[in-house]
Structure formats: C-alpha cells, structure tokens
Amino acid sequence: MAKKQAVLVVDFGNSETRAIVLCKKDKKLKERKFTVSNRFAEVDNGFIPDEDYSDDTSMVFNIDTKIGDKNIVGTYVSGEVQEREFSTSFIRPTAQEAKYTAKSTVLSYTKAIFKAYEALADIYSVDKDKLDVEWTVVVLLPPGDIEKGKAKMAELLQNINKIDCTFPQFNKDISLKSVAVFPEGFCAYIGTVFERGVTPRAEFVDTLKETVLVLDIGAGTTDMLIVKDNRVINNSLYSIKQGGNNIVQTLNSSFMRKGVELLESDLEKAVVTGFVKVGAGVEDVSDTICKAKRAVAGIISNKIKTFLETSEYPLNSINKLLVCGGGAMQSENEKITSLSKVLVEQLKGVAPSIELLSTPVQENIVVNEVTKEKNIVKSEVSLRELNILGASIFGERFVGE
Ligand SMILES: Nc1ncnc2c1ncn2[C@@H]1O[C@H](COP(=O)(O)OP(=O)(O)OP(=O)(O)O)[C@@H](O)[C@H]1O
Ligand SMILES: [Mg+2]
C-alpha cells in the first residue's frame, strides 16, 4: 500500500484525551473523531491481563523514550484493566504539571496514535499492520504555555518513535514529519467562526471584525485571551487556576463535612445531573452546585476585570465573549445555570454591552441502525470539542493523498 500522509490532531485535556484523524481517500477529506481515557498505571514488564479483559477496552504497551534528559522506560496499562485493577495508583494529567513535560502526555499520545492507526485501517479498509503512514501531529497547549512549551512539546512527541503494544499485539515505527502546536482558546475561536476549508461560517461573518474575549474553562484552569483581526493579542494571555473541578471539589467538601465519602466519578456525574446517590437514596445537590458556580464565576470575573483594567483592552471595550470548555457546559438539570451564563451576567456589571457568542451548529451523518438509512442531523458543537475542531481546521492543510 502506498504511503499515506495523515494528520493526527490531539487535545491532551486534563479530563480526557480527544483526537481527530484526518486523511484523504479518493481526493476527499475523511475524518474520524475519538476520545480516550488519560489514566494509566505502570505494571511489571511482561504483564498480561487475564482473560476477562478484551483488547477492545484494555491496552498494555511498552514505552522507551525521553522527556528532555529524563528517560521514560516501562510497561503501562490503560482502559478497563487499569480502572479495575490499578485504580489506586494511577498516572493522570494535572493542572499543576505542564503538558509539554508530563509523563501522561507521552502515554496519552502513544495511545492516541495507536487508535489513529485503527481509525485509518477502518477508513482505508486494510489491516492496520499493512498501513504505511507519515504523520503530521497537531496539538494544543494552554495559550500561556505556547512560548516556552512549543519546541519542548514537539521534542517530546518526536522522541516517541514507535508503538510497542503487547495487548493487543501491535508494533509500528512512527514516521513523524512535523508537529504543529496551536493555543487552546484561539482554536476554539477558529472552530466557532470557520468551518472546514477555513470558510467563514455565514452566521459569524460579522464576528471576524470584532474584538473577542475567549475564556476556556477546562477541568483545572480557565485560560483567557483576546482575539482581534483573527489574531491573538499577545499580552492578553492569562491563566486562572479555577475550572470545572472546583465545582466538583466544593460538592465533595460539602459531603466530607457530613462524613460522607463519594466516588469522583459520581461527583462528576452529579455536576451534570444535579443529583447524587448517597447510600440507598438520591440527593438533590443543584443548590450547592449553583452556589459553587457563582463563587467560581465571581473569582474568574474579578480576576479578568483586574487583569484587563490596566491593559489596552479594558473590559468595557469588548463586545463579544466566547466561552468554551467542559466547565462552561449546560447541565442536564434546568435548575443549574451554566457557568458561561453566570459569568456573562457578572461581566455585564462592568461591560454592559458584552454578549455571549452563540455555539456553532454542525451537520453530522447519523446512520439508522435498523434501516441503515443515512440522515443529516444538525446539532451544536460541544463546548468541550470546540478547541479540537479549530485545531483540526488548522490541520487540514497538512493532509496529503
Ligand atoms: N455538562 C457539564 N456541566 C458542567 N460541567 C461539566 C459538564 N461536563 C463536563 N464538565 C466539567 O468540565 C471539566 C472538563 O472540561 P474540559 O473537558 O474542557 O477540560 P479539559 O480540556 O479536559 O482540561 P484542561 O483544558 O483543563 O486541560 C470537568 O471539571 C467536568 O467536571
Ligand atoms: Mg481543554
């Protein structure tokens, strides 16, 4: 099979790893989107999961690479076998460690590129062992990390030159042509105002002329930047150590004070649903979540106000606000207002004309499982996916036949 030029776009989020594979088939752009868990555990070399585990949901692989001068050598597990058997001592990204020096980035990238081979094998209908691919990798970094982290991130990825997976069995040398690094937040802006082919979306043509304040509310941090004339204003970059996890933590503390210990996964679900299972009962926690959101929004809006006060772009000179990231998402429970709505209300106190940009709508092909009929369904892009969508729009230019 002829060598393929494919692109892997990866968003190493603190909560999960999101990826998009882009390639061309019969001169048409093809894409596959997937999400993988970013939790790993180190195991003994030669570890084999017992037969309860499937290689669709668990993975074991060897790593032999470097981060800067530090050797990273070992065997790691991810997926179901990690969740069930190594749940107490796992490796995951944290807001305290830069993505361009984190071991979790090495592990998440290896897993993502393995999954990317599976995606390409599906697109081209060939066995993944037979694929010969030259990759371009597009990654995101928090805007404030771009300057010091861009070259280090590229080096970290370039150092990983093979996939050595023992469960499922898969070995491949990675041919990596180049690494492109783009700022989170700015990518969300690109994903909002442009569609594939870097074509402005009709409903956002006017936005292209505006000064836009972008807030990316992730798990551990909220990253801010200002976009003017489609470029990032360099001295507008600011990172605030508040995000969706602060809401989860507040909820956790309220139960800890009552002597109730809950699972992190149940607390995360509660933020979305407004309810949590405690013992045999279910408790409505929507009030606690609303209060926590107001508190987090208060800290974020005060920090933004202070930061911009002395800048060239005081808040009252900005009309448009783009809020993205999982922390800003609307909850399933109508009693819980989204953090973006609370924030815009608070910012209006200083900038009365500031308005929240709407979320772009995209078309997805949905196949009816029974009739196999294909339908186009329109839906809003998830606020968690805006960054990777924008990065993949940048990434299109690197796709070869
Ligand atoms: N529907 C929802 N409502 C409220 N919060 C949510 C919702 N879904 C996810 N979250 C919260 O969003 C946060 C994760 O956001 P996101 O996925 O954007 O972060 P990330 O990209 O993984 O991390 P970072 O950008 O900090 O590296 C978590 O704290 C989670 O609790
Ligand atoms: Mg993010």
CA of 161 to the centre of ligand 1 (A): 31
Q: 221 CB less than 6 Å from ligand 1?
A: yes
CA of 385 to the centre of ligand 2 (A): 9
Q: 38 CB less than 6 Å from ligand 1?
A: no
CA angle 8, 10, 16 (to 5 degrees): 140
> What's the pLDDT at 89?
80
Atom of ligand 1 nearest to the CA of 184: 25
Pairing mode of beta strands 4-12, 17-25: antiparallel
Q: 104 CB less than 6 Å from ligand 1?
A: no
Q: Which-ligand-closest: CA of 391?
A: 2
Q: 292 CB less than 6 Å from ligand 1?
A: no
Q: Please count the helices (runs of H) and the strands (runs of E) in the chain.
A: 9, 22
Tokens of 286: 């929507």
Atom of ligand 1 nearest to the CA of 99: 27
Residues of the chain with pLDDT under 70: none
Q: Name 363's bridge partners.
A: 378
Say how many C-beta atoms besides its own lie within 10 A of residue 184's C-beta.
31
Q: 142 CB less than 6 Å from ligand 1?
A: no
Q: 144 CB less than 6 Å from ligand 1?
A: no
Atom of ligand 1 nearest to the CA of 220: 26
CA of 323 to the centre of ligand 1 (A): 12
Report the sign of the C-alpha dihedral through residues 303, 309, 310, 315, in that order.
positive
CA of 308 to the centre of ligand 2 (A): 23
Q: 207 CB less than 6 Å from ligand 1?
A: no
Contact status, residue 163 vs residue 170, Cβ threshold 8 Å? yes
Report the sign of the C-alpha dihedral through residues 309, 313, 319, 321, in that order.
negative
Q: Which of 322, 303, 325, 305 is nearest to 211 (CA)?
A: 322
- The single-letter DSSP state of residue 232 is E
Buried b (16+ CB within 10 A) or exposed e, 49-71: beeebebeebbbbbbebebeeee
Task: Go through the domains of the chain in sequence order and give each one's CATH number.
Answer: 4-185+382-398 (3.30.420.40)
CA of 349 to the centre of ligand 1 (A): 26
pLDDT tens figures, 229-261: 999 998 899 999 999 999 999 999 999 999 999
Distance CA 217, CA 327 (A): 5
CA of 240 to the centre of ligand 2 (A): 13
Distance CA 97, CA 178 (A): 24
- Which of 12, 15, 242 is the best mutation target for the ligand 1 pocket, counting ligand atoms within 8 Å of the beta carbon and taking the most? 15
Phi/psi at 84 (5° precision): -85, -35
Cα maximum dimension of the chain: 63
* Residue ranges with strand state E in 44-92: 58-67, 70-79
Dihedral in degrees, nearest 10, Cα atoms 253, 259, 263, 269: -60
Which residues, chain by chain, have CB under 5 Å from ion ligand 2? 13, 218
- Which of 384, 385, 389 is the best mutation target for the ligand 1 pocket, counting ligand atoms within 8 Å of the beta carbon and taking the most? 384
DSSP codes, 257-312: TTT----HHHHHHHHHHSEEEETTEEEE-HHHHHHHHHHHHHHHHHHHHHHHHTSS
DSSP codes, 76-89: EEEEHHHHHHS-SS
| Residue recorded with tokens 């530090």 | 70
